[in-house]
Amino acid sequence: MNEGRRATAREIARGHLAAGDPLGWFEALYSRAGRDASIIPWADLSPNPSVFAWLDGHGAEGSGRSALDVGCGLGDDAEELARRGFATTAFDVSEAAIAWCRSRFARSRVNYVVADLLRPPAEWQGGFDFVLESYTLQVLPPRIRQEAIRRIAAFVAPHGTLLLVARGREPVDPEGEMPWPLTRDEIRVFQDFGLRELGFEDYMDDEDPPVRRFRVAYRAEG
């Protein structure tokens, strides 16, 4: 994300957070963008390489399996999951974002849904073989992260997989400004909700300048 895009997003987020509305700023940001993706800090208009390098490295097959993309933004990751054969549902709290996805991918096989992570459809509980959480928790204020983690963990079907990709930091590092990097202790909370850690990676990505990332895979117990 360049600093100009970050500044706009942070300005909008601060106003909504001050008003006690931790999720409303997403709709405000997408609406302000007016279909100009250069305004959206996380919109690369291509699949996240950290996600799909993991899928390639683990031979993850989509055929006959369901997937859920949490906080799908403009839909590039969801479309790649569908291309790989997953029956994919993708959701975002922003109606403008979902309308944008449907416009970008008019013939998509992805089921794009407007939904609130903190109040998701009941039928999604335990409903997906593969759940992707990429860059969503890091743009949620820390006070609601544990509830968000609980909801995400509940989406994973028995023996299903969750893949998390997020900015990372040490507990002694400052929280900084949005996007707020996660600590490993925050991420470990997934294990409190029935998930078993399969692998944890701490690495610098290829951005300029490089960004520290955590990539963590979990398996739901049967």
Task: Please report, rounded to a whole number, the percentage of residues in the chain having pLDDT higher than 70.
Answer: 99
Q: What is the mean pLDDT of the chain?
A: 95
pLDDT at 33 over 60: yes
Centre a 10 Å sphere on the Cβ of residue 3 and count the other Cβ atoms it contains.
9
Which fold is adopted by the domain 45-220?
Rossmann fold (3.40.50)
At 1 the pLDDT is 45
Q: Model's pTM, two decimal places?
A: 0.96
pLDDT at 222 over 80: no
Q: Of 176, 163, 219, 174, whose CA–CA distance to 195 is shortest? A: 219
Query: How buried is 194 (Cβ within 10 angstroms: 0-12 exposed, 13-18 middle, 19+ buried)?
Result: middle
Q: Region 127-148: what's the mean pLDDT?
A: 96
Q: Region 170-180: what's the mean pLDDT?
A: 94
Query: Cβ(112)–Cβ(91) under 8 Å?
Result: yes
